[in-house]
Amino acid sequence: MDFSNFGRFLTRGSGIVQLMEDFGDAHAFDGEVFMLGGGNPGVVPAMQVKFREAMKSVLTDQPRFDSMVGAYDSPEGEIRFREAVAKLLRDTLGWQIETDNIAVTNGSQSSFFVLFNLFSGDYSLSPENKTRRHIMLPLTPEYIGYADAGLGESIFVSHRPHIERLDNNLFKYHVDLDSLEVDDSIGALCVSRPTNPTGNVLSDDEVDSLMQMARERDIPLILDCAYGSPFPNIVFTDAKPFWERGVILCLSLSKLGLPGVRTGIVVADNEVVRAISAANAILSLAPGSFGPTLITEAVESGDIIRWSNELVKPFYRAKVDAAVIALQQALAGLPFRIHQPEGAIFLWLWFEGLPITSKELYRRLKARGVFVLAGEHFFPGLEGSDWRHRYECIRVSYAGNADILNRGIDIIAEEIRAAYR
């Protein structure tokens, strides 16, 4: 079949496609499977109880249930949910937020596809006045799902980090602010906080500096807080939630424990919300109602904040501490480092001087039933770079079953030792 350029782009393969296909491959694998590569959150038992209680409440409220399954929401999202989110942010954080600063999308992936294409690409006013703009990623590695949002075009300008080596085989990325330059070719800055894949959390000073750079160029700063504050708040270091005019803050219900409801939340200036509403109408008529209906009462009561702080964060804190110890023991004697885990649900492993590429390591591990993600997929905008670091890292999820994780770590250690021999 002869596809268009758009069709060929969609079917050519990419990191995010590979990630989702791995879920299917894992089910079909002939042998024991160690699923350490996906972005699926862990099952927090106490949260599952809360979600079932919320579902019962919806099922016994006939008008709410009928509206959830039998009527389209407005393209900017269900009004009661948006009102509740705006009030929550005003009351808990003091932000000057109104309902028309909130848009709902069918998941954060949808949010970023629309946002990146709003602020990058062709800005030409006439054939004689050709202008193109890009999205700047001030810190890479960055989220694998960003990479293909430009539909085959190179829309990213990316920046290498400053690497700080820490004790106990840890390291940390920092934004290299001294060499970061934002010129007229940049349409927006974007960072995830915490960062997927590394678990890095930008400091308040780094965020303030990026906001100042964006303000000087009159462009938005996009903050991807799918794992961050105020919910689900999978953050293990001090980090102040941040929003002001000119910031586009992206939140999600997925890592709260609801990836299947596909609910993204965008907090932004009115004109951005109107643009997202138009995109929702064109792409899907309206965002789905299930997630907002299920969780609105928890937003109205503030329980979503309490659950995040008292149930979700401690669950992942215990898991990440145990996973770091297991990796340090299994990889002892090897040239490895773990990015300091400051948030999110992943550990980012750096094998300095690795004799094989991370993609080859991924293939060797997959052959043994261990599914991770190769690091080279997480450097959008640096694809042509010869920076060796891109090929020396892998992402490992620690969110799942502890026994499976520990056995997978042992196999990773075996393959790394074999690679260095």
Rounded mean pLDDT of 150-154?
75
What is the count of structural domains for the chain?
Answer: 2
Q: What is the pLDDT of residue 31?
A: 67
Residue 257 has pLDDT above 60, yes or no: yes
CATH of the domain at 16: 3.90.1150.10
Q: Using the 3D structure, point to which of 270, 304, 338 is the last residue of a domain.
A: 304
- Other CB atoms within 10 A of residue 133 CB: 18
Regarding whether 363 and 396 lie in a shared domain, the answer is yes
Report yes or no: 412 and 374 within 8 Å, Cβ to Cβ.
Answer: no
In a domain, 64, yes or no: no
In this structure, are 415 and 269 located in the same domain? no
Please check whether residues 351 and 367 belong to one and the same domain.
yes
> Residue 204: what pLDDT?
97
Flag whether pLDDT at 169 surpasses 90: yes
State phi, psi for 234 to the nearest 5 degrees: -85, 70
Q: Copy the structure tokens of residue 223.
A: 């903050």
pLDDT in tens, 20-62: 566 555 555 556 889 998 889 999 999 999 999 999 999 999 9
Residue 109 has pLDDT above 60, yes or no: yes
Taking residues 318-331, what's their average pLDDT? 98
Does residue 323 lie within any of the structural domains? yes
Task: Please report the pLDDT score of residue 381 as a whole number.
Answer: 87
Residue span of the structural domain in which 294 resides: 71-304
Q: What is the arithmetic mean of pLDDT over 214-221?
A: 97
324 part of a folded domain:
yes
Q: Are residues 232 and 369 in the same domain?
A: no
pTM over 0.75: yes
- Amino acid present at 27: H
Task: Specify whether 247 is located in the same domain as 374.
Answer: no
- The residue behind tokens 């840890």 is 170
Q: How far lies 305's CA from each of 38, 234, 246, 299, 312, in Å?
A: 25, 12, 25, 8, 10
In a shared domain, residues 186 and 290: yes
- Candidates 369, 386, 375; CA nearest to 348 is 375
Residue 278 falls inside a structural domain = yes
Q: Which two tokens stand for residue 68?
A: 């959830």
Name the helix (H) or strand (E) containing 249: strand 247-252
pLDDT number for residue 2: 79
Q: How confident is the model at residue 130 (pLDDT cuts 50, 70, 90)?
A: confident
Residues 163 and 218 occupy one common structural domain: yes
Residue 370 or residue 8, greater confidence:
370
Report the distance separating Cα 123 and Cα 270, nearest Å.
Answer: 21
Q: Residue 152 domain-assigned?
A: yes
∠ CA 166-15-106, rounded to 5°: 100
Report the alpha-carbon distance of residue 141 to residue 304 in Å, rounded. 30
- Dihedral class, residue 141 (left if φ above 0, else alpha if ψ from -120 to 50, else beta): beta
Please say if the pLDDT value at position 127 is more than 80. no
148 in Cβ contact with 14 (< 8 Å):
yes
* Strands of 142-294, DSSP E: 156-158, 162-166, 170-174, 186-192, 221-224, 247-252, 264-267
Percent of the residues in the chain that have a pLDDT greater than 70, as a whole number: 94
Q: Say yes or no: 259 and 162 in one domain.
A: yes
Q: Which helix (H) or strand (E) holds 51?
A: helix 45-59
| Shared domain check, 295 and 336 | no
Domain annotation covers residue 167 = yes
CB under 8 Å to 151, separation ≥6 — which residues?
Answer: 6, 9, 117
| Final residue in a domain of this structure, among 277, 304, 331 | 304
Give residue 17's pLDDT: 62
In this prediction, residue 154 carries a pLDDT of 80
Q: What 3-state class would DSSP assign to 121?
A: strand
CA dist 154 and 150 (Å) reads 6
Same domain? For 84 and 156 the reply is: yes
Average pLDDT over residues 313-333: 98
- Is 117 a domain residue? yes
pLDDT, position 106: 96
52 within a domain of the structure (yes/no): no
Residue 192: predicted pLDDT: 97
- Cβ–Cβ under 8 Å, residues 243 and 266: no
Share the mean pLDDT of the chain: 93
Amino acid at 367: A
Domain endpoint, select from 249, 276, 304:
304
Average pLDDT of the residues in 148-160:
85
Least reliable range by pLDDT among 19-28, 158-167, 177-186, 244-253? 19-28
Q: Which of 1-5, 104-108, 260-264, 394-398 is the least confident region?
A: 1-5
Residues 142, 282 within the same domain:
yes
Shared-domain flag, residues 155 and 28: no
Q: Domain of 147: which CATH number?
A: 3.40.640.10
